[in-house]
Structure 1
Amino acid sequence: MIRPALILVSIGVLAVWLIVTGFQCGSSEMTTAKLAYSQHNLEKADSSFAKEAEKNPANAEAWYYLGRVRLERGNYAGMVEAYKQSLAAGKEFEPRIIEDKKFAWAQMLNKGVGHHNRSVALEKDPSKKDSAAAYRKMAIDTYRLAIVINPDSAITYQNLAVDDHLSGNYDEEIGYLKKALEIRKSPELSMMLINAYIQKAENAKKADKTTEAAENFNQAIAAMAAARAANPGDEEMLGTLINVYIEAGRTKDALPLIKEAVEKDPKNKVYQNDLGLLLLDQQNYEE
């Protein structure tokens, strides 16, 4: 089963700026917030910008700087909400907001990768299994926050799917992989989705959940059929599809694929053996 490497994104240091004058409103809250921010008193700046935004919700500038303060405080969820309100009030700060959110997203993505790598390292020691699981949970939570900041990055969904798979959260993994594929088509993501369906099917089969197993085998088969249509020459996918058909008990559907595989690779003893067994299963003694 393919386990793709996580993707680490590095963003350069984001410059911090504040225009000391020129606020839209000369209220006491804005003046206090401006002074607190210039002195790097972020807690006071946060509360003062929040008061101004509450009093004057149409003040896009107050919402923007509230988001900016929250970014610097590491309150990314609060940042997202403040930036949303700023954009609702006006588009003046949109370019800055886009750059700020890129920075925050990269911070969370890289932090998630760090938690993931720590969990992998700890997992090598059986006595640290619980600690490894805790770091994996932190990775999942961090990736989810990254998605709140930037819901349009396939990388984040892919990394999140990896840790959900390792945690046995196959339904969540499948959902995130589907979302990633909506954003970016790739053979790697398709194979991850196929593997997730196969894993779910095999687990259900072991638990004697026949209907659930069949449903997930069928989902895997549908995904593989789509992948083969995009890349008909993928012999590895052909072999996997044959195996899944057989494991799903759909030997009749596997037969034409086995014949295709033998035609492509007539010296392959595994395919020759599988063909013979399937013909016997179908009581096709003439072939």
Structure 2
Amino acid sequence: MHLNTFSIVAYDPDEKAWGVAVASKFLAAGAVVNWAQANAGAVATQSYAKVSFGADGLKMMADGMSATETLTALLADDPGREQRQVGLVDREGHVAAHTGKNCHEWAGHRIGEGFTVQGNILTGSDVLESMSDAYTAAKGELADRLVAALLAGSAAGGDKRGKQAAAVLVVCENGGYGGDNDRYIDLRVDDDETPIRKLRQLLDSHHLFFGIPKKEDRMRIDTEIASELQRIMMKQGYWSGEVDGSWDAISQQAFWTLIGNENLEERWNMDKDPSHIDRVALEYLRRRFG
């Protein structure tokens, strides 16, 4: 099956994170294209994609091979190399890319500092130029910049057949949920009319539920905020006492139950600092229950 798409692979030395993002008119493209491993690198394999390039490429880079050496080795024994498109970034942030001469037009790649963008069956070369510019200019975490590149590529024309799927994968050592894996972000939109927009929404949700609260967002739960939270809890059935602004142990226990049901434990913890609330969590609760 011909996997036509546009993608980006990148390394962020400050985050020590490797990532890959993809968009395509292809069901569940992220399950095929996106490969990454902490302290090894990232791979995007597409256009009559050879899926084994993902696992094999990561193993080679984990063993110390550069992106260029890995790409050469992957293509050497592949009789279908001229139909393949591959982008790689290694553990040091060096990149390599290949666009076979038999990839369907428009097809190509662009290499930048610590990243490469590639695509086929695109509306034109401006898709990749827009992706490169957007990634370089974007702010935020690596995942935010990767998705910014996808949004820019789509705005510039993207896959000329249309839209269906998008995904972003970012890894860093012990960065995954629970701290015992490297899968920091692994979000996929497998079938949607506006997949990149939906992916951006999912990424915002990831930041909300799993992001580390910032010190500047800590707010003391004063009488006014306590009363507001008691009213929210009463409305949702967590609180049956008087709304008096008293942030006592009973109020905190009821709020902890609400926090647990909303998966906001990273932003308010009764055992760590019950007297403060994260501004992001408070604004979320206001939007959801206000």
Q: Same fold (TM over 0.5)?
A: no
Higher helix proportion (structure 1 or 2): 1
Length-normalised TM-score, structure 1: 0.31
Give the TM-score normalised by the residue count of structure 2.
0.31
